[in-house]
A and B are shown apart, each in its own frame.
Chain A
Amino acid sequence: MKQFLKVFRSADRNKTFIVGFVIILSICFTAAFADLIAPFAYDEIDVVHALKPPSIQHPLGTDHLGRDSFSRLVYGSRIALKVGVIAVVIQILVGVSLGLIAGFYGGWPDRIIIFFTDVIWSLPPIILAIAICTVLGPSLTNVIIAIAAVSWAQFTRIVRSKTQSLKNMPYAEAARAAGESNVNIIVLYILPNVFPVVIVLATLALPIAIINTTAMGFLGLGAQPPTPDWGVILANSMTYIHNAPWISIFPGLAIIYIVLGFNLLGEGLRDVLDPRLKI
């Protein structure tokens, strides 16, 4: 908690953090009040007004079924946030616990865990995610699982090396001398010190998870229509690119906006919490 206060206190000098924070706040606001902001429902079909360019009634135009593009983008922010947050939380749970175990105990648990991270890293993440999604079948839940499965390793690697140095710190030694159990030392003394790094990593892992989700949606492996996932909208737009380019342009801008927000927030946090951490 003290660290969060520190972030906000030094925030006036940290423009990156402020810009990122405002962007993310605006997206959270949009997602929370989507029902009030969006003029139409995301699946309201109006074939008479299909593929109409931006107008006063439809600020970003309509798609091939006459659905309002703006409303679909607004509802899409919910999906992007949901997927990003859940995927990253799973990554943290798996990655951090494995990193703590590997770093603290060393020996063969360490070797096995490192071997698994090597296996994960011997394939490009997106290809592994495609493979997993093909097996599990296309759906948003499976995309979340796939994305979490391919990206936990970076948490493990960094938490492991942090833990290796932390476990020899005087306070950890003191706790051991006082007869604390290993689990207690990890949870009470090491975890709190690993936490800042994990927060920074998580903020930077979120945008990657969002881009990968939209990529999967784009390939047809993610959410299925009529879900207003930004990647799905983009995939559909390819068919109408000649006569309705506006359907293609705006979802991309939405993705850039949210990814930019998280990147800036993450970099700002890194500058405050752990300036030496380079990712």
Chain B
Amino acid sequence: MRDIAVYAVRRLFIGMFIVLVVSAILFSIMHMMPGDPIQLIDSTRLDQQTTEKLREKWGLDKPAVIQYLHWLGNLCKGDMGRSIVNGQSVTYLLAARLPFTLQITLAALLLQYFIAVPLGLLSGYYQGSAFDKIMIIITAVFRAIPYFWLGIILILFFSIYLKLLPVSGYRGFQSLIMPVLTLTLPALTATLQLTRSEVLEVLREKYVTTAVAKGLNQKMVILRHVLRNALIPVTVLFFLSVPWLIGGSVITETIFAWPGMGRLLWSSISSQDYPVVQGIILIISILTVISTTVGDILTGILDPRIRAEMEGKTV
């Protein structure tokens, strides 16, 4: 177990280094972008002198490397700069928006897990049955659905045809339903397929045959042996799918005018609001690195075979 801890710390360390590299790359990309935000605000009303003054105020006149180091220094103090468009603190903006994104992402993850795992288990256990065949067709079709289109169809059906749910914005629990469905349904199929194929694989294992031969009752075998082992890769997928859901949230939040980080990212990119974009990407890459690392480490803890492999590597 100690070796796993060493492995985890090392992974997180590498992960944070990667986050830094990503932020540096992004910083240089943002600086290669044509035009600068000052021109974009109102180029017609500003004379040369005021523009220069503003550039100086925002530090845009200094070389990119200095600007980056400056940004890093402030970051350590919890200050991510100020939005160029409206002057608000980026830390404050993100703190206000992040919960909304986490809300739909987490809800989508849980929904995905609780729908897909039982269905996948049944589908794998009754392999070849009518239920299994229907599931295979449904997953194949759902996997092909682009989620932004699903969002439009949900709006058409629930808001325009049935007039049940609000089209967009945030008005309590009701508004949560369509964005969460849009994020979940296409992603759900991967979990379902994985659960099914893992269950099939585990069912073929010798220890399952042994358990059945020993005369254990069927429910026990399924719960104790099959499900437990089949869930290892599924749990890992749970964490690995976080980046996909966050990526999907940009479009989903844009469709439903959801007040989260994804839509903020989209609007800040179009207004070239560097500090906000930089802050959001930082948060997203940290979330991504943490979730993939947790996924990896969990595999090690849950699966003794892989644990041995990890320990072999770190010792």
Check if A and B associate: yes
Residue positions of A touching B, CB distance < 8 A: 115, 118-119, 121-127, 130-132, 134-135, 137, 207, 211, 214-215, 218-219, 231, 234, 237-238, 241-242, 245, 248-249, 251-252, 255-257, 259-260, 263-264, 278
Interface check B22, CB cutoff 8 A: yes
Give the residues in chain A near B68, CB-CB below 8 Å.
none
Would you list which residues of chain B between 242 and 285 have a CB under 8 Å from chain A? 243-244, 246-248, 250-251, 254-255, 265-266, 269-270, 277, 281, 284-285
User: How far, in whole Å, are A219 and B140 apart by their CA atoms in the complex?
Assistant: 26
Give the distance to chain A from B32, nearest Cβ to Cβ, in Å.
6
User: How far, in whole Å, are A234 and B22 apart by their CA atoms in the complex?
Assistant: 32
Contact B152 A252 (CB under 8 A): yes
Q: Given known contacts A125-B247, A252-B152, is B281 in contact with A207 (CB within 8 Å)? A: no
Contact B21 A119 (CB under 8 A): yes
User: How far, in whole Å, are A137 and B266 apart by their CA atoms in the complex?
Assistant: 15
Interface check B19, CB cutoff 8 A: yes
Give the residues in chain A near B269, CB-CB below 8 Å.
130-131, 134
Give the residues in chain A near B141, CB-CB below 8 Å.
256, 260
Nearest chain A residue, comparing its CB with the CB of B194: A278
Q: Given known contacts A130-B269, A237-B152, A249-B153, is B288 in contact with A123 (CB within 8 Å)? A: yes
User: How far, in whole Å, are A227 and B142 apart by their CA atoms in the complex?
Assistant: 27
Contact B149 A123 (CB under 8 A): no
User: How far, in whole Å, are A135 and B281 apart by their CA atoms in the complex?
Assistant: 15
User: How far, in whole Å, are A237 and B247 apart by their CA atoms in the complex?
Assistant: 23
User: How far, in whole Å, are A251 and B153 apart by their CA atoms in the complex?
Assistant: 12
With contacts A134-B269, A219-B254, A242-B160 known, what are 9 further pairs, Cβ within 8 A?
A121-B243, A122-B289, A127-B265, A131-B29, A214-B146, A234-B149, A252-B150, A257-B144, A259-B143
Listed by A's residue number, 6 A-B pairs whose Cβ atoms lie within 8 Å are A122-B19, A122-B285, A123-B284, A127-B247, A137-B34, A245-B156
Contact A251 B32 (CB under 8 A): no
Give the distance to chain A from B7, nearest Cβ to Cβ, in Å.
16
Give the distance to chain A from B80, nearest Cβ to Cβ, in Å.
17
Give the residues in chain B near A251, CB-CB below 8 Å.
149
Give the distance to chain B from A57, nearest Cβ to Cβ, in Å.
24
Nearest chain A residue, comparing its CB with the CB of B288: A122
Number of interface residues of B (CB under 8 A): 48
Partner of B156, one of A132, A137, A241, A257: A241
Partner of B250, one of A115, A127, A132: A127
Give the distance to chain B from A39, nearest Cβ to Cβ, in Å.
25
Contact B243 A256 (CB under 8 A): no
Interface check B51, CB cutoff 8 A: no
Nearest chain B residue, comparing its CB with the CB of A221: B269
Interface check B101, CB cutoff 8 A: no
Contact A256 B144 (CB under 8 A): yes
Give the residues in chain B near A121, CB-CB below 8 Å.
243, 288, 292
User: How far, in whole Å, are A88 and B144 apart by their CA atoms in the complex?
Assistant: 18
Give the residues in chain A near B292, CB-CB below 8 Å.
121
Partner of B281, one of A123, A234, A278: A123
Give the residues in chain A near B155, CB-CB below 8 Å.
241
Contact B160 A241 (CB under 8 A): yes
Give the residues in chain B near A211, CB-CB below 8 Å.
146
Contact B250 A126 (CB under 8 A): yes
Give the residues in chain A near B289, CB-CB below 8 Å.
122
Nearest chain B residue, comparing its CB with the CB of A237: B152
Contact A263 B197 (CB under 8 A): no
Interface check B148, CB cutoff 8 A: yes
User: How far, in whole Å, are A249 and B155 apart by their CA atoms in the complex?
Assistant: 12
Give the residues in chain B near A126, CB-CB below 8 Å.
247-248, 250-251
Partner of B146, one of A255, A263, A264, A278: A255
Contact B146 A119 (CB under 8 A): no
Give the residues in chain A near B247, CB-CB below 8 Å.
124-127
Give the distance to chain A from B287, nearest Cβ to Cβ, in Å.
9
Would you list which residues of chain B between 138 and 168 have a CB under 8 Å from chain A? 140-141, 143-146, 148-150, 152-153, 155-156, 160
